[in-house]
Amino acid sequence: MTSKPDSEPGWGSQYRLVAAEKWKAKSAAMGQPVTDALVEYAQPAPGMQVLDLASGTGEPAISLALRVGTQGQVTALDLSAELLQIAAQRAQARGLNNFTTRAADAHSLPFPDDSFDLATSRFGVMFFREPNIAFRELRRVLRPGARACFLAWGSFDQPYWKSMIGVVHKHVGGPLLEPGGPDPFRYADPGTLSAVLRNSGFIDVEEEAKTLPWSWPGPVEEVWEQVQAVSVPFRPVLERVPTEQWLQIHAEVHESVRRYFDGEKVAFGASVVLASGRK
């Protein structure tokens, strides 16, 4: 890519949907170790009713559906019906009959009290507008004793972000993220996610930091193109780049990312936070 990225904003906007479809196989491969880590952390059991929040194109909901079996059920919930359509197609391709989607807001869940045995969210809880409201609402729909398990990004200061968005930010300056806007690193500081869970009524709260595999199975140019298309919180930073600077920025990003390229994949690693609480 040698021009300014598409400027259309939003989680379910057209440029992001095109990117999600274009890169779905490689994005899934990159995210699989993180998905696996959350699924293992959540410990789904056969027969469970599971709610996955901010499912996007379907993970970890699909992996959970494989674990709970035909007697269980997984509901993938997201604001974007278009992204959920991709998730449904992926589940159908796997032959999953215990997988459903629901377009809804996490702040107002369309389910009765005490509906689910387990809840999960991978890279979603950082974007709740009102975390206490969303977590209390989630707690409402969980059955007594049920767990809610989350995976969030660690700090911005890690290869995946610094080697690409960090290069852009070095050139354009200004705020890295819009004040009051979506913040992927909202729970990067130790204990912040745990505190919100406790304030929302969860008990037996746990939290840990981990570094997990996070590798793009292809060349550096591809992962940079994908990041530009799907990283909604950084659209304002990308929009501040003057058109005449893009050639230089692309070259610098490619050079920066190439440090992690082994000839087949770009092996970044991902610093993440795992947290859970029980109703």
Residue 250 included in any domain = yes
Residue 184 included in any domain = yes
Residue 8 included in any domain = no
Q: Two tokens at 156? A: 């911005």
Q: What is the spatial distance between Cα 163 and Cα 258, in angstroms, rounded to a whole number?
A: 9
Helix axes 220-230, 246-257, angle to 10 degrees: 120
Cβ atoms < 10 Å from Cβ of 57:
26
- CATH number for the domain spanning 92: value is 3.40.50.150
pLDDT at 17: 57
pLDDT at 152: 98
Residue 167 has pLDDT above 50, yes or no: yes
Give percent of the chain with pLDDT exceeding 90.
83
Q: Two tokens at 192? A: 């912040």
Residue 1 included in any domain = no
What is the domain extent for residue 61? 14-278
The end-to-end CA distance of the chain, in Å, is 47
Which tens digits make up the pLDDT trace of 81-125?
988 998 999 999 999 999 999 999 999 999 999 999 999 999 999
Residue 70 included in any domain = yes
pLDDT at 127: 93
Residue 52 included in any domain = yes
Which tens digits make up the pLDDT trace of 170-206?
999 999 999 988 899 999 999 999 999 999 999 999 9
**Nearest in space to 273 (alpha carbons), one of 166, 145, 186:** 186
Greatest alpha-carbon span in the chain: 58
Residue 183 included in any domain = yes
Instruction: Please say whether the beta carbons of 265 and 218 come within 8 A.
Output: yes
pLDDT at 9: 40
Residue 32 has pLDDT above 90, yes or no: yes
Q: What is the spatial distance between Cα 53 and Cα 102, in angstroms, rounded to a whole number?
A: 10
Residue 230 has pLDDT above 50, yes or no: yes
DSSP string, 199-228: HTT-EEEEEEEEEE--EESS-HHHHHHHHH
The DSSP symbol for 60 reads T
Cβ atoms < 10 Å from Cβ of 84:
24
pLDDT at 68: 98
Counting the structural domains of the chain, the total is: 1
CA 116 to chain centre: 21
Residue 239 included in any domain = yes
Which tens digits make up the pLDDT trace of 6-23?
433 443 444 455 556 677
Q: Which residue has the tokens 């009102």?
A: 130
pTM here? 0.90
**Nearest in space to 57 (alpha carbons), one of 43, 73, 78, 39:** 78
